[in-house]
A and B are shown apart, each in its own frame.
Chain A
């Protein structure tokens, strides 16, 4: 079993729709959870971080964390073509611990 696993892609949604990206992790001691967006040929950039159970909203983005189910998700509302990218889920177990990444999900938003 992979330590961090993301839903297989690619994911294609029409402009204006909600895109749902999912991630599961195996280490119950995980403390911090991150979503990164990566455009082709570029480095990852942080979109959201979440540390406690529940929802965290930032503009069109909502991160959801359920530690009991070992599940974290990212919702993108009113998807735009500029949201087309690879989305990486990352999990950390200790304060200075290394991040473990999922394999990424490619999202395409078509006009």
Chain B
């Protein structure tokens, strides 16, 4: 079954805790992206990677970290430095000159 898979679907974080969101794809796409969505604000880019072992900050990278050790995987860590992490997190893949396809998303809530 091809596609892009995010896990978990729901995640709860305690104050001061780091959590990691998973994003895996088997479509052999080079470019992968992490977006954050808050109500009424569209999608904002956190980090992106266009090749293994390389990634760039997006518009709102503070408090987040990523790695790209394998082409298939692009995990996002929400660190304790991110003061307002409650949001809907979306991972996307994108081929050259094509549209972006999204995973099903992870809803993160601070408890």
What are the interface flags for A73-111 relative to B under an 8 Å C-beta threshold, 1 for contact and 0 otherwise? 000000000000000101000011011111110000000
In the complex, A62 has a CB within 8 A of chain B: no
Q: How far is the CA of A45 from the CA of B45 in the complex (A)?
A: 17
Q: How far is the CA of A53 from the CA of B101 in the complex (A)?
A: 24
In the complex, A30 has a CB within 8 A of chain B: no
**CB-contact partner of B90 in A43, A46, A96, A104, under 8 A:** A43
In the complex, A25 has a CB within 8 A of chain B: no
Q: Is the CB of B105 within 8 A of A43?
A: yes
Q: Which residues of A contact B102 (CB under 8 A)?
A: 43-45
Q: Is the CB of A90 within 8 A of B100?
A: yes
Could you say which interface size class chain B belongs to? 20 to 34
Q: Is the CB of B30 within 8 A of A96?
A: yes
Q: Is the CB of B99 within 8 A of A95?
A: no
Q: How far is the CA of A54 from the CA of B30 in the complex (A)?
A: 31
Chain A residues numbered 1-40 whose CB sits less than 8 Å from any CB in chain B:
4, 32, 34
**CB-contact partner of B41 in A32, A34, A95, A103, under 8 A:** A103
In the complex, A42 has a CB within 8 A of chain B: yes
**CB-contact partner of B99 in A49, A96, A98, under 8 A:** A49
What are the interface flags for B81-111 relative to A under an 8 Å C-beta threshold, 1 for contact and 0 otherwise? 0000000001010101101111111010000
**CB-contact partner of B96 in A45, A96, A101, under 8 A:** A96
Q: Is the CB of B105 within 8 A of A102?
A: no
Q: Which residues of A contact B94 (CB under 8 A)?
A: 96, 99
Known: A49-B99, A96-B96. A101 touches B42 (CB 8 A): yes
Q: Is the CB of B99 within 8 A of A44?
A: no
Q: Is the CB of B43 within 8 A of A96?
A: no
- Which of A44, A95, A103 is most buried by chain B, counting CB atoms within 10 A of its CB? A44
Q: Is the CB of B50 within 8 A of A96?
A: yes
Q: Which residues of A contact B8 (CB under 8 A)?
A: none
4 A-B pairs besides A42-B104, A103-B42 with CB distance below 8 A are A43-B105, A44-B90, A90-B43, A101-B42
The 9 A-B residue pairs whose C-beta atoms are closest, nearest first, are: A43-B102, A101-B42, A101-B43, A103-B42, A43-B105, A95-B97, A46-B99, A104-B42, A95-B96
